Amino acid sequence: ELAYSLVAYRQLTRAAQDFKPDFIYERYNLFLLAGTMLKRKLGLPLLLEVNAPLVDERMKHSGGLSLVKLARWAEGTAWRSADFVLPVTQVLANHVSAYGVPAQRIKVIPNGINLNHFVDAPDTTTAKKMLGLQGQLVLGFTGFVRDWHGVDRVIQWMATPHAPANSHLLVVGDGPVRSQLEALAAQLGIAQRVHFTGVIDRHLVPQHVAAFDVALQPAVTAYASPLKLMEYLVLSKAIIAPSEPNLQEVLTDGDNALLFDNATPGDFEAALTRLCADAALREKLAQGAYQTIARLDLTWMGNARRAVNLILKGPGSN
């Protein structure tokens, strides 16, 4: 990773000579200082997108980190060198600020979606028919499922009397805990009501998510801006999610999602029971979800406009 900065710097230098950019936009990665080096060489403004505090993330969740002091120096150098740092949540912005980046150079820009990717998604009834799920109340989750996502809680709830008999869990994706979750479903006698698609082409994701009646976000990384959440919103899904600060930057309880207190035992299951039993609430949340995309302009084009406006206005702009 350290050596790759030099490789990336040479590639960026060649690209800049050919393209002659007005500014540099880089997505932060650990030990990657290529954008900082090119900024200093060419005198170009640098926008640095930050999706995670990677030093802390690596130390806690990825098997540890060698050269911690060097990693923290590289992270701080990259963040402080940028003309604007673009964390994806305000929670993450607080991490950036702790490294000494002035507030006027920190601009929160959440992740977004490409609207064109979803325009041909079928309606819910058609999507269910395509998947052979007619008459089912589909609880859906997208992504690479890990233990901390809490999908096991959904399966356990489905085996209780509180769950509708026609509830069906559709996981659009795969993950290291798939076999354990399938085994849990079999143990509880509901294996036929739990389905994993496995890894599918990204162009097929919208037609699968379109089949969801309830979109599941059972847990979240504290600083993240989940891409699955944007997909749920644009496809007008009734979302259930924890009332965590980063999610509340986009979600409002009772408006575009049903939020639960993750610290209160049974609150997730109670919220899931309520949402599955109330079709009118699901419809209200679905409408609010779709409106959120336009209201907050949660699109990649919107993010591009924000980035360009920052360059046009310069540091200190609001």
For the chain, percent helix, then strand, then coil, each to nearest 5? Answer: 50, 15, 35
**Is residue 315 over pLDDT 70?**
no
Angle CA 52–57–62, to nearest 5: 130
- For residues 2 and 220, the model is more confident at 220
**Cα 260 → chain centroid:** 18
pLDDT at position 277 is 97
List 144's β-bridge partners, or say none: 174
- For residues 147 and 60, the model is more confident at 147
List 48's β-bridge partners, or say none: 26, 85
pLDDT at position 303 is 97
Read off the tokens for 213: 């009646």
**Is residue 147 over pLDDT 60?**
yes
Contact 23, 82 (CB under 8 A): no
Backbone angles phi, psi at 236, to 5 degrees: 60, 55
Q: How confident is the model at residue 300 (pLDDT cuts 50, 70, 90)?
A: very high
Contact 141, 152 (CB under 8 A): no
Read off the tokens for 162: 């509180």
pLDDT at position 58 is 86
**Cα 11 → chain centroid:** 29
pLDDT at position 2 is 74
- Over the stretch 195-254, which tens digit does the pLDDT of each residue have? 999 999 999 999 999 999 999 999 999 999 999 999 999 999 999 999 999 999 999 999
> Could you tell me which of 72, 27, 67 has the C-alpha nearest to residue 46?
27
pLDDT at position 74 is 93
- Over the stretch 95-118, which tens digit does the pLDDT of each residue have? 999 999 999 999 999 999 999 999
- Over the stretch 52-86, which tens digit does the pLDDT of each residue have? 999 988 888 766 787 889 999 999 999 999 999 99
d(CA 169, CA 184): 13
- Over the stretch 246-282, which tens digit does the pLDDT of each residue have? 999 999 999 999 999 999 999 999 999 999 999 999 9
Count CB-CB contacts under 10 A for residue 120.
10
d(CA 165, CA 163): 6
CA distances (Å), 51 to each of 96, 159, 222, in order? 11, 36, 11
pLDDT at position 196 is 98
Write down all domains in the chain, each with its CATH number in brackets.
Answer: 2-112+299-313 (3.40.50.2000), 115-296 (3.40.50.2000)
Greatest Cα-to-Cα distance within the chain, rounded to the nearest angstrom? 66
Contact 46, 39 (CB under 8 A): yes
**Is residue 317 over pLDDT 60?**
no
